[in-house]
């Protein structure tokens, strides 16, 4: 990859005279007395020489809709032109034989987050977002995570300060509610949503995080009032808690029993309940990390009758199964995440659900823990699955794993790859006006992919702080070799060139995805509820 033919601010010699343009035929510029004693370039020369900051030349550009050969020009951090034979930039990147794609958007990542058991995850904003950038991801939505008793405002300010200090890519927050008191819902939440945090995350499971049915209804109704999307971890807490105890009592504590302890039915049960609530109030929701075919089928059925429900799955549910948990010693702990990994039949069902549009996007659910007593092995080197930190790293490997499957191996192709990893995440979460595609005027967040680069994933290769990747040992083809954020090169030649704190906060409005459908349920429709005003 050729980079930086000329420094910013100095015209490259090849542009000293505009191409295809005879200097003698140019109109005269302003009198030299106006611009100083040294005659500078004419106005038209200036325009030709300095029209763009950067041209990415000769690549194959792909969006969710189209694939075409074109040069892409960047000005002031935005996509300024797509065309053939573009000229007049301070700097060029030769993308011959490469794909020029929108940078990835990962809408589900836990960064510098404290778990409900008090454990801090392995990454800082700097290490997490650096690893994301190496993998071609240029925007992330992470969490401002309230624990019970916390002020949401204080929590948000703390996460904001950490992100401002560390983030290398652009970022935004979901407001994660575990304690929706009247003060939180009525006083703290509205200004935070209005400021640009137009999504709320809730858990229907985990003993210390789950909110009951009535609190979930309170949150859905408040989100409707504020125009925020509600994102939900949907599993049945009672089934998981009950079965987990029964397994442990009988001595089944290895990592593989984690998959057993979350019965398959816990997912479709909770998704179905969530959708019933969302339909009652006509409030859009997105179901996080759908892992079973039955879960995806519940979403399909609801979408078929017009409910505004969206669905996400994650890289690990497309490429790993419960068998990965079945390792000797404590090694299976690396693959403990919730919902747990399922079967190859589920993988197939999830791909089909993506293809049908029942699920719209693939995120990482990056939840990084180190392989030591600070993380996965805080409770011994062969920990009970009940005492193993939940989650795995994935910000960096999400796009390369999917590129290999979808582009290199050809399943669904490059346009769907862009759609599921950038365009739909941007659209659903209210970033579509500036992120997720390569349109004129969009932020120049660009990943340039070498489709022929073969990479064997190893624990050493990834840049997050966990020290491992759940995909170690796989050889994949296709890698993002150069990554730009708002026109600035942040990854090139295997190096990160961006400073901690150079990522920008992305305020988001709810947008179309978060707007109620207008189809009122009988209970909330004054024409059918005997005139009761419930909104």
Question: Which residues form the interface with Zn ion (CB under 5 A)?
Answer: 365
The C-alpha atoms of residue 391 and residue 376 are separated, in whole angstroms, by 9
Nearer to Zn ion, 274 or 491 (CB): 274
The nearer residue to Zn ion, 253 or 388, going by C-beta atoms, is: 388
As a whole number of angstroms, the distance between CA 245 and CA 222 comes to 35
Minimum distance of Zn ion from residue 108's CB (angstroms): 6
Residue with Cβ nearer Zn ion (324 or 365): 365
Query: What is the Cα–Cα distance from 371 to 369, expressed in whole angstroms?
Result: 7
347 SS3 class: helix
Nearer CB in complex with Zn ion: 86/259? 259
> Closest distance between Zn ion and the C-beta of residue 118, in Å?
18
Tokens at 20, concatenated:
């295809």
DSSP class of residue 420 equals I
Least Å distance, CB 363 to Zn ion, is: 8
Q: Is 533 exposed, middle or buried (0-12, 13-18, 19+ CB in 10 A)?
A: exposed
Least Cβ distance, residue 365 to Zn ion (angstroms): 4
Nearer to Zn ion (CB atom), residue 365 or residue 464: 365
Query: CB of residue 460 vs Zn ion: minimum separation in angstroms?
Result: 26
Q: How far is the CB of 337 from Zn ion (least distance, A)?
A: 8
Nearer to Zn ion, 121 or 321 (CB): 121
Residues with Cβ < 8 Å from 438, sequence gap 6 or more?
61, 63, 72, 79, 82, 100, 101, 102, 446
Q: How far is the CB of 141 from Zn ion (least distance, A)?
A: 11
Contact criterion met (CB below 8 Å) for 294 and 320: no
* Secondary element (H or E) of residue 50: none
Q: Please report, for residues 37, 57, 303, 417, 466, the alpha-carbon distance to residue 96 in angstroms, rounded to integers and kept in the order given.
A: 43, 7, 42, 20, 35
Angle CA(95)–CA(106)–CA(288) in degrees, nearest 5?
145
Whether omega for the bond prior to residue 339 falls within 30 degrees of 0, making it cis, is yes
C-alpha angle 465-469-473 in degrees, rounded to nearest 5: 145
Decide whether 55 or 362 has the Cβ nearer to Zn ion. Answer: 362
11 vs 115, which CB is nearer to Zn ion? 115
Cβ 162 to Zn ion, closest distance in Å?
18
Shortest Å, Cβ 364 to Zn ion: 9
Report the nearest approach of Zn ion to the CB of residue 267 (Å): 14
Query: In a 3-state reduction of DSSP, which class is residue 33?
Result: helix
Going 111 to 113 to 115 to 120, the CA torsion angle's sign is: positive
Smaller CB distance to Zn ion: residue 358 or 365? 365
Distance (Å, rounded) from C-alpha 370 to C-alpha 306?
43
Residue 421's Cβ-count burial label (10 Å; 0-12, 13-18, 19+) is buried
68-73 LR contacts (CB < 8 Å, sep 24+): 72/100, 72/438, 72/444, 72/446
* Residue with smaller CB distance to Zn ion, 113 or 139: 113
| Shortest distance (Å) from residue 507 CB to Zn ion | 22
Which residue, 282 or 365, has its beta carbon nearer to Zn ion?
A: 365
Is residue 145 within 8 Å of residue 112, measured between CB atoms? no
Please state the closest distance from residue 110 (CB atom) to Zn ion, in A: 6
Q: Count H helices, E strands: the chain?
A: 16, 17
Angle formed by the axes of helices 237-249 and 266-281, to 10°? 160
Q: Which residue is nearest to Zn ion (CB)?
A: 365
Give 365 or 443: the residue with its C-beta nearer to Zn ion.
365
């Amino acid at each position: 990859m050729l980079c930086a033919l000329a420094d910013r601010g100095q015209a490259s010699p090849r542009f000293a005279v505009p191409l295809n343009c005879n200097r003698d035929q140019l109109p005269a510029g302003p009198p030299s007395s106006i611009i100083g004693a040294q005659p500078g370039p004419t106005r038209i020369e200036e325009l030709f020489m300095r029209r763009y900051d950067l041209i990415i030349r000769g690549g194959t550009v792909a969006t969710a809709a189209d694939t075409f050969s074109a040069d892409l020009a960047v000005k002031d951090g935005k996509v300024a032109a797509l065309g053939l034979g573009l000229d007049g930039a301070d700097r060029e990147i030769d993308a011959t034989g490469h794909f020029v794609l929108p940078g990835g958007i990962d809408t589900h990542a836990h960064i510098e987050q404290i778990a409900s058991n008090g454990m801090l995850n392995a990454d800082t904003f700097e290490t997490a977002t650096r690893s994301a950038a190496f993998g071609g991801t240029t925007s992330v939505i992470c969490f401002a995570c309230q624990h019970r008793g916390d002020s949401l405002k204080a929590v948000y300010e703390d996460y904001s300060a950490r992100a401002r200090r560390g983030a290398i890519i652009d970022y935004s927050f979901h407001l994660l509610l575990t304690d929706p008191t009247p003060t939180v819902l009525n006083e703290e939440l509205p200004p935070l949503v209005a400021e640009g945090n137009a999504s709320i995350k809730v858990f229907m499971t985990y003993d210390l995080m789950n909110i009951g049915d009535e609190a979930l209804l309170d949150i859905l109704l408040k989100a409707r009032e504020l125009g925020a999307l509600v994102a939900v971890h949907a599993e049945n807490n009672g089934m998981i808690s009950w079965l987990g105890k029964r397994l442990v009592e009988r001595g089944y504590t290895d990592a593989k029993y984690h998959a057993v302890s979350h019965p398959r039915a816990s997912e479709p049960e909770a998704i179905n309940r969530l959708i019933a609530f969302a339909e009652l109030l006509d409030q859009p929701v997105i179901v996080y990390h759908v892992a079973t075919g039955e879960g995806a089928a519940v979403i399909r059925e609801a979408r078929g009758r017009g409910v505004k429900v969206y669905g996400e799955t994650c890289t690990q549910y497309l490429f790993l199964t419960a068998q990965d948990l079945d390792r000797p010693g404590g090694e299976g702990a690396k693959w403990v995440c919730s919902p747990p990994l399922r079967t190859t039949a589920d993988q197939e069902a999830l791909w089909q659900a993506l293809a049908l549009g029942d699920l719209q996007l693939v995120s990482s659910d990056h939840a990084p823990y180190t392989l030591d007593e600070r993380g996965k092995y805080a409770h011994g080197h062969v920990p009970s699955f009940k005492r193993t930190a939940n989650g795995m790293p994935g910000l960096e490997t999400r796009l390369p794993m999917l590129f290999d499957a979808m582009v290199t191996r050809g399943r669904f192709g490059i346009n769907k790859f862009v759609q599921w990893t950038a365009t739909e995440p941007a659209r659903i979460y209210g970033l579509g006006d500036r992120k997720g595609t390569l349109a004129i005027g969009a932020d120049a967040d660009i990943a340039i992919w070498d489709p022929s680069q073969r990479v064997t994933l190893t624990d050493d290769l990834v840049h997050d702080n966990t020290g491992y990747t759940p995909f170690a040992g796989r050889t994949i083809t296709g890698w993002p070799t150069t990554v730009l954020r708002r026109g600035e090169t942040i990854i090139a030649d295997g190096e990160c060139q961006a400073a901690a704190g150079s990522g920008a906060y992305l305020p988001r409005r709810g947008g179309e995805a978060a707007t109620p459908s207008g189809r009122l349920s009988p209970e909330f429709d004054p024409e059918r509820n005997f005139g009761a005003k419930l909104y």
